[in-house]
């Protein structure tokens, strides 16, 4: 078979530890034999980030804006222990944070469903995609531990010096206060990313806040979504037979449990944090989840939702056998290749991505899987494979599909 040709390069962001090892094997076994792979390579491994004073991360984000599609390996976000381990010049910021800030994106995560790994919620037939707003609210808060009796106020001082002032509470004794914020700009780009992604993936969009209680803060989210929907997306949604549905967050949670899935659930930052962990854990594993960052102007960055699987890497370094699940990393590649195929009018590239996903799922359904899945599967007679042999087994299935 002649190798599939590409037109535009993918931005390839290499990463750290066990996922860096998987990255190489995936390329060698599942991509390079079939595709004349065109990538612009950025090494986001911690050593090279340190060497370039993290410039490589900034450059990779710029390249993503230029080419439109990136695929990213999991990377270490340094902490004190990593400073010593990697002899770092500085405690570099989270690459995901840097890339997110540059692309102004929203993160979409959906479970990868496969026979034998059934969700705990038995009526969930199709994946539920979480769209998490990744800016502000409690994640950028200011807090005070109130020492005793006194008045707490909320004050905004405009550039002209004019003030808006509200009493929060007259304290009789000790307590706590918290200030949070968001911006119309960020909420607007969050809304656009959600509406565009819903159209792109042909799914209904749900959004929920607590606007009955938070009549200004949450109401602002609701109003911005409604406004953008009416002005920019209503016609397109109607033409595609899709629905935008707003409700209260507690109503949404109750309804989600009763649906069969197959829609996008847009969440404010905190709701998204909590609900995506609930959905992923109900569906089996973080290694069985796709994750894509979508910017409002249609730039895509595909990655795995899990980290660098440090514990497995240390075993690997000692020459011990590992059984690390590569599904999320494979799906990051297939997501990016399919998107590149769609944008460049290369149906054979998108078709290859479909087949590689199919081969991955079929391999698991045939009972060949890594240890994390073997522990939770309902399938009988399972073969537990090591990291490399699982990818080789996928290649064998892929050969039968091509």
Which residues lie near ligand NAP (CB under 6 A)? 74-77, 96, 286-287, 303, 306-311, 324-325, 372
In the complex, the smallest distance separating the C-beta of residue 310 from ligand NAP, rounded to whole angstroms, is: 4
Residue 273: which of ligand NAP, Mg ion, none does it interact with, CB under 5 to 8 A by kind? Mg ion
Residue 52: which of Mg ion, ligand NAP, none does it interact with, CB under 5 to 8 A by kind? none
**Nearer to ligand NAP by C-beta: 346 or 373?**
373
Residue 96: which of Mg ion, ligand NAP, none does it interact with, CB under 5 to 8 A by kind? ligand NAP
**Nearer to ligand NAP by C-beta: 129 or 322?**
322
In the complex, the smallest distance separating the C-beta of residue 23 from ligand NAP, rounded to whole angstroms, is: 12
In the complex, the smallest distance separating the C-beta of residue 91 from ligand NAP, rounded to whole angstroms, is: 12
In the complex, the smallest distance separating the C-beta of residue 135 from Mg ion, rounded to whole angstroms, is: 16
Classify the C-alpha dihedral 281-282-285-288 as positive or negative: negative
**Nearer to ligand NAP by C-beta: 75 or 196?**
75
Residue 187: which of ligand NAP, Mg ion, none does it interact with, CB under 5 to 8 A by kind? none
In the complex, the smallest distance separating the C-beta of residue 24 from ligand NAP, rounded to whole angstroms, is: 15
Strand 163-171 and strand 150-157: pairing? antiparallel
**Nearer to ligand NAP by C-beta: 128 or 309?**
309
Residue 77: which of Mg ion, ligand NAP, none does it interact with, CB under 5 to 8 A by kind? ligand NAP
| Residues contributing to the site for Mg ion (CB under 5 A) | 273, 277
Full 3-state SS string of the chain: CCCEECCCCEEEEECCHHHHHHHHHHHHHHHCCCEECCEEEEECCHHHHHHCCCHHHHHHHHHHHHHCEEEECCCCCCCHHHHHHCCCCCCCCCHHHHHHHHHCCEEEEEECCECCECCCCCCCCCCCEEEECCCCHHHHCEEEEECCCEEEEEEEECCCCCEEEEEEEEECCCEEEEECCCCHHHHHHHHHHHHHHHHHHCCEEEEEECCCCCCCHHHHHHHHHHHHHHHHHHHHHHHHCCCEEEEEHHHHHHHHHHCCCCEEEEECHHHHHHHHHHHHHHCCCHHHEEEEEECCCCCEEEEECCCCCHHHHHHHHCCCCCCCCCHHHHHHHHHHHHHHHHHHCCHHHHHHHHHHHHHHHHHHHCCEECHHHHCCCCCCCCEECCHHHHHHHHHHHHHHHC
User: Among residues 179, 132, 400, 137, which one has the least CA distance to residue 276?
Assistant: 132
Residue nearest to ligand NAP (CB): 307
**Nearer to Mg ion by C-beta: 223 or 277?**
277
In the complex, the smallest distance separating the C-beta of residue 347 from ligand NAP, rounded to whole angstroms, is: 30
**Nearer to ligand NAP by C-beta: 112 or 346?**
112
In the complex, the smallest distance separating the C-beta of residue 367 from ligand NAP, rounded to whole angstroms, is: 18
Residue 75: which of ligand NAP, Mg ion, none does it interact with, CB under 5 to 8 A by kind? ligand NAP
Residue 74: which of ligand NAP, Mg ion, none does it interact with, CB under 5 to 8 A by kind? ligand NAP
In the complex, the smallest distance separating the C-beta of residue 324 from ligand NAP, rounded to whole angstroms, is: 4
**Nearer to Mg ion by C-beta: 273 or 365?**
273
Residue 286: which of Mg ion, ligand NAP, none does it interact with, CB under 5 to 8 A by kind? ligand NAP
Residue nearest to Mg ion (CB): 273
Strand 35-36 and strand 4-5: pairing? parallel
**Nearer to Mg ion by C-beta: 260 or 277?**
277
Residue 309: which of ligand NAP, Mg ion, none does it interact with, CB under 5 to 8 A by kind? ligand NAP
**Nearer to ligand NAP by C-beta: 12 or 372?**
372
Residue 247: which of Mg ion, ligand NAP, none does it interact with, CB under 5 to 8 A by kind? none
For 56, list phi and psi in degrees, rounded to 5: -60, -35
- The neighbour count for residue 184, using CB atoms within 10 Å, is 11
**Nearer to ligand NAP by C-beta: 266 or 369?**
369
Residue corresponding to tokens 């007259």: 170
């Amino acid at each position: 078979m002649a190798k599939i040709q590409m037109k535009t390069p993918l931005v390839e962001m290499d990463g750290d530890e066990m996922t860096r090892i998987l990255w190489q094997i995936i390329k060698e076994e599942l991509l390079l034999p079939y595709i004349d792979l065109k990538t612009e390579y950025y090494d986001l491994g911690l050593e090279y980030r340190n060497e370039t004073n993290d410039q490589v991360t900034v450059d990779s984000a710029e390249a993503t804006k230029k080419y439109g599609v990136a695929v990213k390996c999991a990377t270490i976000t340094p902490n004190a222990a990593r400073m010593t381990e990697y002899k770092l010049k500085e405690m570099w910021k989270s690459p995901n944070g840097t890339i997110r800030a540059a692309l102004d994106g929203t993160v979409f995560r959906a479970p990868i469903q496969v026979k034998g790994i059934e969700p705990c919620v038995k009526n969930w037939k199709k994946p539920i995609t979480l769209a998490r707003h990744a800016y502000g609210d409690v994640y950028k808060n200011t807090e005070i531990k109130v020492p005793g009796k006194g008045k707490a106020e909320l004050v905004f001082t405009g550039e002209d010096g004019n003030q808006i002032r509200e009493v929060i509470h007259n304290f009789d004794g000790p307590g706590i206060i918290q200030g949070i914020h968001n911006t119309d700009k960020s909420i607007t780009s969050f809304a656009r990313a959600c509406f565009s992604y819903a159209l792109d993936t042909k799914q209904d969009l749900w959004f929920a806040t607590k606007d009955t209680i938070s009549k200004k803060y949450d109401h602002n989210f609701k109003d911005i979504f409604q406004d953008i929907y009416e002005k920019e997306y209503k016609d397109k949604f109607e033409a595609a037979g899709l629905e935008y549905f707003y409700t209260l967050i507690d109503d949404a949670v109750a309804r989600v449990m009763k649906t069969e899935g197959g829609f996008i659930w847009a969440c404010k930052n905190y709701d998204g944090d909590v609900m995506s962990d609930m959905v992923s854990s109900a569906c089996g594993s973080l290694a069985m989840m796709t994750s894509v960052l979508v910017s409002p102007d249609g730039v895509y960055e595909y990655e795995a939702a899990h980290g660098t699987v440090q514990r497995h890497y240390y075993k690997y370094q000692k020459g011990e056998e590992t059984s690390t699940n590569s599904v999320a990393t494979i799906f990051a590649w297939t997501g990016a290749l399919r998107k590149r195929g769609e944008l460049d009018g290369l149906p054979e590239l998108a078709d290859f991505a479909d087949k590689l996903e199919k081969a991955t799922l079929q391999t698991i359904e045939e009972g060949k899987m890594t240890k994390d899945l073997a522990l939770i599967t309902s399938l009988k007679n399972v073969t537990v494979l090591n990291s490399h042999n699982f990818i080789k087994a996928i290649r064998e299935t892929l050969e039968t599909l091509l």
